[in-house]
Amino acid sequence: MTTSAPVKVSPGATRSEGRAVDGELFYLVPARGKPYRYTYAPPPGTPEQNTQYASHRMRIEDGRAATVPPRLDVEGFQLVEHETTVNDFHDETQLRDVYYAEAEALVLEATGAQRVVIFDHTIRRRPPGRPPLGSGRTTDGVREPVARVHNDYTVRSGPQRVRDLLGEEAPELLTRRFAIVNVWRPLAGPLFDAPLAACDARSVAFEDLVASDLIYRDRVGETYNVRYSARHRWTYFPAMTTDEALLLKCYDSDTSGVARFAPHTAFEDPSTPPDAPPRASIELRTLVFFGA
């Protein structure tokens, strides 16, 4: 097991009074057959998805008030201070030439890894007027926040992503520990609308995770939907700023006891001010490779 390197953890008391909130989180309703969802208009006569979700009221703790701040290898997520020099996250050149390098350095420092490969990013924005949270796309093609409990990779799709992206290097890389870590950041802050809640990986049984197909035009990915359990322990970080980032563990090949999967979801924070701007955020996905 590799111990994460020290990073500057974002302080808590300055922006929060240690409150917890009760939020409605949407879990998978168990059914027959493997869950699936198309990312594009499906063939005629085929439903876009075969899943249903049920709301469960869950206590969501303020991570800023934790006596010991959540850690990437323990709970599966970690809030850090991380300034960026990017002034326009919609500028693809700035994103790839500046932000990717900044995030690579951040993840290397936070994990103590040997190598980090950034392979994509997604900008999410809630439409004006803050309509009910969904998991589709806004009218301008930008994705909305995902309002269902999920994890981005599975025991199958994690290694497959390495094979897809790194080709001939993959067999050797897959002989040692690797992880998939998301870097999540608000594009404007402080962020009050539709914050991200993360589930303590230690509270999630493997049986709670349901492998589900995510169907693209050129491939079929696999993610985890999540069954409800009263054991799940949830955390969020209210009022995140653009100088903070949330590191989120979506996969880890290490089975020795570190956090492997941290389910997460956007949710309606009942304490959100009525005039809060709609959420805008960016998530960046990284492959993290450790030494032998």
Q: What is the pLDDT of residues 42-58, one digit of tens each?
A: 999 999 999 999 999 99
Average pLDDT, integer, range 105-121 = 97
**Contact criterion met (CB below 8 Å) for 53 and 27:** yes
**Contact criterion met (CB below 8 Å) for 187 and 281:** yes
| pLDDT value at residue 276 | 94
**Contact criterion met (CB below 8 Å) for 216 and 223:** no
Whether the predicted pLDDT of 73 surpasses 70: yes
Residue 111 half-sphere exposure toward CB, CA atoms < 13 A: 32
CA-to-CA distance for 99 and 114, rounded, in angstroms?
A: 19
Alpha helices in the chain (DSSP H): 92-94, 100-111, 157-166, 170-173
Question: What band does 187 get if pLDDT is binned at 50, 70 and 90?
Answer: very high
CA-to-CA distance for 76 and 159, rounded, in angstroms?
A: 18
Question: What band does 19 get if pLDDT is binned at 50, 70 and 90?
Answer: confident
| pLDDT value at residue 16 | 47
CA-to-CA distance for 101 and 76, rounded, in angstroms?
A: 23
Of all residues in the chain, what percent carry a pLDDT higher than 70?
91
**Contact criterion met (CB below 8 Å) for 280 and 210:** no
Whether the predicted pLDDT of 2 surpasses 50: no
State pTM to two decimals.
0.92
Question: What DSSP designation does 103 have?
Answer: H
**Cβ within 8 Å of residue 219, ≥6 positions away:** 164
Q: Helix, strand, coil: what percent of the chain each, to 5?
A: 15, 35, 50
| pLDDT value at residue 125 | 93
